[in-house]
Amino acid sequence: MGKRLSWATRFGFYLAAIGSACGLGNLWRFPYVVGENGGGAFVLLYVFLALTFGLPLLIGELILGKATRKSVLTAVDTLEYEKKKPFRIFGKMALVLNLAVLSYYAVISGWVLHFAIQFLVRLLGIHQAQTQSMMDLLLNNGLLQVGLTSVHLLFTIIVVLKGIQDGLEKWVGWMMPLFGVLMLILVVRSLSLSSNQEALRFLFYPDFSKLTYSSMIHAIGHVCFTLSVGFGTMVTFGSYLREEDHVPTAGFRVTIVDTLISLFAGLLIFPIAFQGTNTPMTDPGLLFELLPSFLFELPGGILFGFGFFICLYLAALSASIGLLEVIVSNIEDRLKYRRSSSAWVVGIVALIVGMVPALSGSALKGIRIFGKGMLEGLDSIVINWILPIIAAGMALGITYGMKKMDKERLFVDTNKMESASLFSHWEVALKWYIPILVVVALVFQVFGLFQ
């Protein structure tokens, strides 16, 4: 077997890793999960866990990839403990998780596409006046949602099949700074609303009484989701790292960028939310309900809106590509199926599963899981129950299944004195802190169910 390819430049890794990490998790999911969990105290918990839970795990997955030069299933297979391979199950679970997430990620990506088109037709002056809000129209129209989801999955499949990720990454690379600038301008505008004080207080003043029994697991789940850890994605990216790249530094930078983008999303949405709208802050459509009407009021807002949703769509596309790619490349490695057939089959299965969340606002409106609609219910089961378990399993797998020597070689940089002492902290985080926290948080969540 030939030597595994590496990123041509260090920039290549960052583009891919940040491209996968930053997406709907930051813009769509973060604000409403913060809304659901009462604001400031949760934000503090989230930032704390991003650094103490997400970052060590992200470094762990990258190290596993770099050490084995394999993607998740095969990499996890190399983890042995007392001549057995008890961690295999987590690799398999991670793949199923990718499929489940892809199916509803595609639905939300379809929403983004819809809004980009809505802004475009307004820009071109060819839209018809409507009385209902754009989001309501979309939610009530199941067929439209299934159509948009299919288009999104089709784009994703084409990119994965044609192997044009490289080309796309360059695009995303160009769009990212543009997206950053657009967001910054919108944040400034949003913070100049009269509700700014109230919003800042909500976002940053920690009122711990607002936390619920499930807040801890919500924060853990969201940290894993937004950093793409527990999915095996980062194992693949780590396998392409160049020998000279220092893994903890890379992981740290990805975590910081991703966390900052989420905080910016909060700064963008909450001043609008406090400006007398009647959308509940716990609504998964929060971003889509609030942002368009805010943009329509701004001078040049339609152009801004178009740019914003196109950039967000590219971010969603690059995250979806990561999800599909992990499944397809693992099937290719293990089952030796042709890449093209597996991409189509996985895409179609994702579409079939995705029909459920896509129809959750229309045909399936009456069906509820734990009192939530199908979309939120699916998201909640996957992110708040299954993902943390895989994350803990991965942490234990890396702890017990990899040789200390290998980990130390990849973690410690002889030019960076502090990395030697950080190494032992990192080991403790994976061995004790992460698994114990997951168990405690799950117990709290179960307890909360009976309250």
Q: Does 322 bind ligand PHE (CB under 6 A)?
A: yes
How far apart CA 108 and CA 357 sit, in angstroms, is 9
Q: Which stretch binds ligand PHE (CB under 6 A): 109-117, 175-183, 317-325, 340-348?
A: 317-325
Query: Per-residue contact track with ligand PHE, 9 to 28, x per CB under 6 A?
Result: -----------xx-xxxx--
Query: Environment class of residue 197 by beta-carbon count within 10 Å: exposed (0-12), middle (13-18) or buried (19+)?
Result: exposed
Distance (Å, whole) CA 105 – CA 111: 10
> What is the nearest approach in angstroms of ligand PHE to the Cβ of residue 432?
25
The piece of 222-230, 247-255, 385-393, 414-422 that touches ligand PHE (CB under 6 A) is 222-230
- Does 388 engage in binding with ligand PHE (CB under 6 A)? no
As measured in angstroms, the least distance from the Cβ of 54 to ligand PHE is 11
Which tokens sit at 201? Answer: 């207080």
CA distances from 380 to 1, 100, 159, 372, 374 (A): 41, 12, 29, 9, 10
CA distances from 333 to 71, 89, 207, 336 (A): 9, 17, 49, 6
The whole-angstrom separation of Cα 260 and Cα 268 is 12
| Piece of 77-85, 224-232, 392-400, 408-416 that binds ligand PHE (CB under 6 A) | 224-232
3-state helix, strand, coil in the chain (%, to 5): 75, 0, 25
Residue closer to ligand PHE by CB (options 233, 419) is 233
Task: Pick the closest to residue 174 from 310, 5, 68, 1 (CA basis).
Answer: 310
Asked whether position 104 contacts ligand PHE by CB under 6 A, the answer is: no
Please report how close the Cβ of residue 228 comes to ligand PHE at its closest, in angstroms.
4
Q: Is 200 exposed, middle or buried (0-12, 13-18, 19+ CB in 10 A)?
A: middle
Q: Give the HSE-up count for residue 38: Cα atoms under 13 Å, Cβ half-sphere.
A: 15
Q: Does 49 bind ligand PHE (CB under 6 A)?
A: no
Q: CB nearest ligand PHE: which residue?
A: 25
Query: Is residue 250 within 8 Å of 62, Cβ to Cβ?
Result: yes
SS (H, E, C) 307-376: HHHHHHHHHHHHHHHHHHHHHHHHHHHHHCCCHHHHHHHHHHHHHHHHHHHHCCCCCCCCCCECCECHHH
Asked whether position 264 contacts ligand PHE by CB under 6 A, the answer is no
Q: 81: helix, coil or strand?
A: strand
Token digits of residue 344: 């189509």
What is the separation, in whole angstroms, between the first and last Cα of the chain?
56
Among positions 17, 291, 323, 374, the unique one binding ligand PHE when judged by CB under 6 A? 323
- 412 vs 56, 349, 358, CA distance in Å? 14, 42, 46
Please count the residues of this chain forming the interface with ligand PHE, following the rule CB under 6 A: 14
Q: How far is the CB of 65 from ligand PHE (least distance, A)?
A: 14
What is the spatial distance between Cα 107 and Cα 168, in angstroms, rounded to a whole number? Answer: 21
Q: Does 426 bind ligand PHE (CB under 6 A)?
A: no
CA–chain centroid gap for 128, Å, is: 35
Binding to ligand PHE by residue 71, rule CB under 6 A? Answer: no
- By beta-carbon proximity to ligand PHE, the closer residue of 99 and 178 is 99
Q: Please give the angle made by the CA atoms of 442, 23 and 199, to the nearest 5 degrees.
A: 75
Nearest CB to ligand PHE, comparing residues 166 and 418: 166
CA distance 214 to 37: 9
Query: Considering beta carbons, is residue 67 or 321 the nearer one to ligand PHE?
Result: 321
Helices (H), 22-54: 24, 30-36, 40-49
Site string for ligand PHE, 144-163 (x = CB under 6 A): --------------------
- Complex with ligand PHE: residue 21 or 59, whichever CB lies closer: 21
Nearer to ligand PHE, 233 or 445 (CB): 233
Place of tokens 């909640």: 380
**By CB under 6 A, residue 220 contacts ligand PHE:** no
Q: Toward ligand PHE, which CB reaches closer, 111 or 274?
A: 111
Distance of closest approach, residue 29 Cβ to ligand PHE, in angstroms? 7
For ligand PHE, which is the closer residue by CB, 302 or 312? 312
Q: Which is nearer to ligand PHE, 234 or 295 (CB)?
A: 234
Pick one of 103, 118, 215, 228: the residue that binds ligand PHE (CB under 6 A): 228
When the beta carbons of 25 and 284 are compared against ligand PHE, the nearer one is 25
CB of 343 to ligand PHE, least distance (A): 16
Complex with ligand PHE: residue 237 or 426, whichever CB lies closer? 237
Residue 231 interacts with ligand PHE (CB under 6 A)? yes
Output 311 or 323, the one with its CB closest to ligand PHE: 323
Interface with ligand PHE includes 239 (CB under 6 A)? no
Instruction: Name the residues that contact ligand PHE, by CB under 6 A.
Output: 20-21, 23-26, 225-226, 228, 231, 233, 319, 322-323
